Chain A
Amino acid sequence: MALNVGCAAAPGRARDNKTGSWRVFKPVFKHETCTKCGLCETVCPEGCVKEDKDGFFTPDLDYCKGCGLCAKECPADDIEMVQEEK
């Protein structure tokens, strides 16, 4: 986001705001016991967990708010919330 006078911006610029900046804990997807069930993608309120070409799931940390729902709901207990230092 550019520092425009009056905080002026073209529409649709919310994408340019890396809103993950207010996260305290980040989810670490270990991909060890993962069964590729996709529940993490389903429960993510931000819609930032996506499936990769191998069928594993990863969060987009530019937008993840660190709510921890994915870690809480993961049936394989394969996601760990880790405190981030900035």
Chain B
Amino acid sequence: MMKIVEGSHAVAEAVKLCRPQVISAYPITPQTHIVEALASMVADCELDAEYICVESEFSALSGCVGASAAGSRTYSATTSQGLALMFEVCFNAAGMRLPIVMTIANRAMGAPLNIWNDQQDSISLRDAGWMQFYAEDNQEATDLHFITYKVAEDHNVLLPAMVCFDGFILTHTYEPVDMPSQEGIDAFLPPFKPYNTLDAKKPMSLGMYATPDYYMEFRYEIDEAMKRAKQAFANAGKEFAEQFGRDYSGLIEGYRLEDADTALVAMGSICGTVKDAIDEMRAEGKRVGLLKIRSYRPFPADEVAAALKGASTVAVLDKNISLGAKGAVALEVKDALYGSGITVLDYIVALGGRDIRKKDIAKIVDLAEKGTGDMFYGLRTEVL
């Protein structure tokens, strides 16, 4: 059913349709509306789930680890400093192969304290063994939750996953969202079948210690599961498309990319602005296109290389900075295109909620065509 709904409430509704059995979360701006809505649903008996009120994000995710290990479909949501507080638990959840799904309302990292959007928080957890999918709009943020549970719980994958959508820009924006029915989601997403279950009658420990003789093999197994997740995501996306008519089977998505000389690469809500900017530049005869990265982990390097092979210049828009190096997306795009001869330029943009508009995208394309890049775009030099 189509409705006009705030992004956070659309996500809460989507999570409800997934029938999580345990929700363990701590409120933090701009994620609060999601867990607030879910808490109301549980309190009003609209959602049959255990809602654990915790005292910190560390406990929030720890609660999910215990509940998931005990065989429950679990959910949490957080952002920024809250995600940072979960750092240790994130690695443990992946190592124990627990398919927890967590929404990230992307926000900048302090200090300085900043509640606005960029993607530094989830990007900083890129090596934790969690899958990371980025939504462009609230319809995609909604639908990715259904797909993500299916991929995470696939016994060929068994990895936790973050569904990332931009704080405020999406979380607090009202958009039309076509919400699937409960019957539809029940048909798409069967009840959770745990691989291992903590059961007092059949005692078992998870995440046991591994000596140097075994540790590397466990890490290898997680990496292999990540690789298998690519196919699982494509399959789940295809199945979703057949049932609901919206296709997310691509880990990447091209927009007017086929004959583009200059290709932009981006993740999240900025893709909407980029698409509009591209339409305007195309009308002026410029051959520009967009490659949207939907899955950052696993990173679809081969698919990225194939999609960008016709471009002469690639401009990557990074809403993050790996301080002392470059933007995290650009580093991976450069890796994917290594040896291709294609110029890859990085633009650090829109950190901490700095606005980025269509005219900025056009300026970046101009800079890229001149070969100027690997820079912070839009710096206020007058305050430096």
CB within 8 Å of B: which residues of A? 1, 3-11, 13, 17-19, 21-22
Contacts and interface: CB of A to CB of B under 8 A. Distances in A.
Contacts of A17: 209, 211
B211 A21 contact: yes
Contact of B195 (A6, A9, A11): A6
A1 to B, nearest CB: 6
A74 B369 CA distance: 77
Contact of A11 (B203, B207, B209, B212): B203
Given A5-B196, A9-B204, A22 B211 contact: yes
A7 B96 contact: yes
B113 to A, nearest CB: 37
Given A11-B203, A11-B204, A6 B95 contact: yes
Q: How large is the interface on B (under 10, 10 to 19, 20 to 34, 35 or more residues)?
A: 20 to 34
Contacts, number: 57
A19 to B, nearest CB: 6
A59 B205 CA distance: 29
Report which residue of B95, B210, B211 has the largest number of chain A beta carbons within 10 angstroms of its beta carbon: B211
Contact of B218 (A7, A18, A19, A22): A7
A13 B145 CA distance: 37
Given A10-B203, A13-B208, A5 B221 contact: yes
B213 A21 contact: yes
Contacts of A19: 211
A6 B96 contact: yes
27 contacts: A1-B210, A3-B214, A3-B217, A3-B218, A5-B97, A5-B158, A5-B196, A5-B221, A6-B96, A6-B97, A7-B96, A7-B207, A7-B208, A7-B210, A7-B218, A8-B208, A9-B208, A11-B203, A11-B205, A13-B208, A17-B211, A18-B211, A18-B213, A19-B211, A21-B211, A21-B212, A21-B213
